[in-house]
Structure 1
Amino acid sequence: MRRLRLCAMLTAMYSLSLFAQKATWFDNVKVSGFAIAQYQWSNPKDNEANSFNLRMARVALDGKVAGDFYWKTQIQITGNTSTLASSPRLVDLFVEWQKYKAFNLRLGEFQVPFTFESPIHPVDVGFMDNGQAVLKLTGYSDRSGMHSSNGRDIGIMAQGDFLKNANGRNLLHYAVSVVNGQGINLKDVDQRKNVVGSFWVMPIEGMRIGVSGWEGSYARKGNWTDEQSGESRSGVRSLPQHRYAISGEYASNGFTFRSEYVHSTGKAFAKTMTDTNDASASDCNLSAIGSKADGFYALGIVPVVKSKVNIKARYDLYRNNGEWNSAKTFYEAGADYYLAKNLRLSAEYALVNDRSLSKHNYSLVNTELSIKF
């Protein structure tokens, strides 16, 4: 059944591509994608790991239709196909009206505008993965218990750039979305929409400074035990989520410096949803991690040989309950080597300090081969 579903998705995309080649009202249709192969070694006490892995692969179609409309559809393939978290699935499907630079309107399933790093292409993030705060508070491996959604949701978004300077470069950017709050490929549960938005200024070429906000909820329909009375309850349980991020970045001529602080208030479900047919989908009991979390990262990527060799470092902290007893910190250093323009070999070493473990410190080595097409 899973193979049939994947085949159907690929066939649909291929058919759309053929149709687009014949239809004159489709313009600039292209097929793109990427793949990341990974080897990772780590040695936390009693939980050592050493494995090759296909981290992620995506195939996308995008183009213009009827002049002012941009469209995109993208599927992701990675690892085990038995769960929502890693099975072949649709991650993007939207249409955007782009008649005016200052006001674009997008409808469908797309990346929500929260943090600078979340919308960055996975190959271009520069490290083994997004920062922990982005992963945990932006809909990837979200602390709320939401299934892995790659920072995406279903809804509508307005965005644009405006206020040009003397050189014709826009100084301000905004994006505001109204989404279900349930992640990718799922309908709303509690009928309470989430509002997610970001705003940033671009004072000089390559620099942006901004803020993001997230107001809404994550909900499930199922059963739970009331924390106060101990009674069994059933129905829809909605957990409010209030989040903000403060972000800064400078990226120019191969140099990248980026830093973000992300804060969250809102309780979480005890089990992460992994399958809509699994018990996790209807388990509405609360996690013991509480209602607060925050994280901070700062990174630098410097070209040693332009377009050929980079060196890089990152400090990455996340506190799952907002307290230092849950802090997990990565001290990372590494390098990239471009075998060709879109073929890159990356290697990193990280010293990890995890205060939730009896032995806090351990090492992690990560290597990746990534290709874009």
Structure 2
Amino acid sequence: MKKLLLALSLFTACSLAYSQDPNRELLKKLVEKNILTQDEADSLRASSNKDSQNNSFTQSVEKIRQAFNTPYMQFGGYGLLLYKYSDVNKVKHDLSTRVVFLHMQGQIFKDFKYFAMMEFVNPTLTEYYVDWTPSGSFNLRVGQMKTPFSLENQFSLTALESITNTRSVSALAGMGDDVLKLQNNKNNAGRDMGIKISGNLINKGTHHLLEYGLGIYQGTGLVTSETNNSKDFTANIMLQPVKGFRIGGGGYFGEATYRKTGESEQEDHVRNRWIISSDYKNNRLYARAEWIKANDGGIAKEGIHGVGLWYFIPEKLNAFAKIDYLNQNKNINSEVMDYTLGVNYYFYKSCRFQLNYTYSDYSNKWDAPNSNIVLGQMQIVF
């Protein structure tokens, strides 16, 4: 046993100073002097080779990671696995891959950056734009992006408190329930092609007093050619009188080309919105409220939602309650109220498990049964 310990000590010391070939010669001499048996030498040699291979593999992976994640090119993405139960659907239980996004971004040169994102479940080039940011008070963005309308619309699905977007925002901010979907048969996810300027003004030390966003957009949604000779305009201004509390509003003015009920052909229709927004955030609490009024081709619409979220364990476990009202035609009061409760558990950084329950109360004019929906989702961000 003493011989073995002595041999191991010699082998370890020598391995720090010599490459693989000298090690092989050392083991050979230790066998010749009967300090090690041949089996012991073979075992040590195999272990040394394995460690060398492992180190080589780790170094190779690190080189690949560094090659694909430089200041000029960085990759990331996320996936959402969704379970849904609905007491009014024919298929009450459903498990599906909701979205899988992959994005690439980088800095071209000083003050210039780019971003591109692709969704693979329903393949769509969701975002692609270039930013010029000479200062924090001015950013120019050109490409396909989220429009600066509605606080909720600025959230990624990976940061939104609920699994799905609030119905009123989805219907009035260019998402799946908006009349814009009639134009290109897509959930445009609050995005469009255009030019936007934005920034933060008046630094108060702990926060900026003013946040603004102005944009001119094509008005056709994701990866869709122009359908008329007009462009859409949007503007939003938020004041932050104290750190964490914002209040403000804005508008969106444009047109959409679609066929209304009772019409035989597609035509251009007014698509205007006005919004008042407010939110508050600290280490444990987040609250948000928004009121949206809209005019879609002469049909007056209105939506309002409020949400409150509390972290029981900071950055780990939170719960929220949300109430949402949407009137999709104020002339006949086609209304629905959604009441949602939910929890979010973060098991690793931005990765989380989510559970939501929503009760929807429809008016007679909506022509839909009241429903109970349970959603569960696993979110993986990489």
The superposition leaves residues 210-235 of structure 1 with CA deviations (integer Å, 9 ceiling, x where unpaired) of 20210110125xx89985xxxx66xx
1-side partners of 2:261 and 2:331: how far apart?
26
8 Å Cα contact 1:113/1:212 also seen in 2: no
8 Å Cα contact 1:27/1:67 also seen in 2: no
The counterpart of 1:37, out of the listed 59, 81, 96, is 81
2-side partners of 1:214 and 1:370: how far apart?
32
The amino acid that maps onto 1:300 is G
2-side partners of 1:300 and 1:119: how far apart?
17
Change (3 A) 1:168 1:367: closer
The amino acid that maps onto 2:102 is V
Change (3 A) 1:212 1:333: same
The superposition leaves residues 160-216 of structure 1 with CA deviations (integer Å, 9 ceiling, x where unpaired) of 111112x26311011111011000111211110000111101112222112021011
2-side partners of 1:33 and 1:209: how far apart?
31
Aligned runs of 1:253-264 on 2, under 5 Å?
A: 253-264=283-294
Change (3 A) 1:324 1:352: farther
Q: Secondary structure at the match of 2:170?
A: helix
Higher strand share: 1
Q: Secondary structure at the match of 2:272?
A: strand
TM-score w.r.t. structure 2 length? Answer: 0.76
The amino acid that maps onto 1:92 is E
2:71 maps to 1:27? yes
2:239 maps to 1:201? yes
2:193 corresponds to: 154
8 Å Cα contact 1:109/1:155 also seen in 2: yes
2:373 corresponds to: 364
1:279 corresponds to: none
1-side partners of 2:368 and 2:227: how far apart?
41
1:340 corresponds to: 348
Shift of 1:41: 0.6
8 Å Cα contact 1:348/1:365 also seen in 2: yes
1-side partners of 2:140 and 2:90: how far apart?
47
1:284 corresponds to: none
1:62 corresponds to: 105
Q: Secondary structure at the match of 1:121?
A: coil
The superposition leaves residues 245-294 of structure 1 with CA deviations (integer Å, 9 ceiling, x where unpaired) of 11111122142101111111022xxxxxxxxxxxxxxxxxxxxxx61211
Q: Secondary structure at the match of 1:133?
A: helix
Change (3 A) 1:94 1:252: same
Shift of 1:359: 7.1
2:203 maps to 1:164? yes
Change (3 A) 1:189 1:368: same
Change (3 A) 1:241 1:121: same
2:275 corresponds to: 245
8 Å Cα contact 1:42/1:49 also seen in 2: yes
Q: Secondary structure at the match of 2:71?
A: strand
RMSD: 2.5
8 Å Cα contact 1:93/1:108 also seen in 2: yes
1:296 corresponds to: 304
Percent identity over the alignment is 24
The counterpart of 1:113, out of the listed 127, 148, 152, is 148
Shift of 1:323: 5.4
Q: Radius of gyration: which is bigger?
A: 2
Change (3 A) 1:331 1:184: same
2-side partners of 1:75 and 1:124: how far apart?
18
The amino acid that maps onto 1:306 is P
The superposition leaves residues 128-151 of structure 1 with CA deviations (integer Å, 9 ceiling, x where unpaired) of 211111111111111342431111
1-side partners of 2:345 and 2:331: how far apart?
38
2:337 corresponds to: 329
Q: Secondary structure at the match of 2:171?
A: helix
Q: Which moved more, 1:355-364 or 1:144-153?
A: 355-364
Aligned runs of 1:62-141 on 2, under 5 Å?
A: 62-78=105-121, 87-141=122-176
Change (3 A) 1:323 1:369: farther
The amino acid that maps onto 2:311 is P
Larger RCO: Structure 1 or Structure 2 (Cα < 8 Å, ≥ 6 residues apart)?
Answer: 1
8 Å Cα contact 1:161/1:173 also seen in 2: yes
Gaps of 5+ in 1: 1-17, 79-86, 268-289
The amino acid that maps onto 2:101 is R
The amino acid that maps onto 2:373 is L
2-side partners of 1:99 and 1:359: how far apart?
51
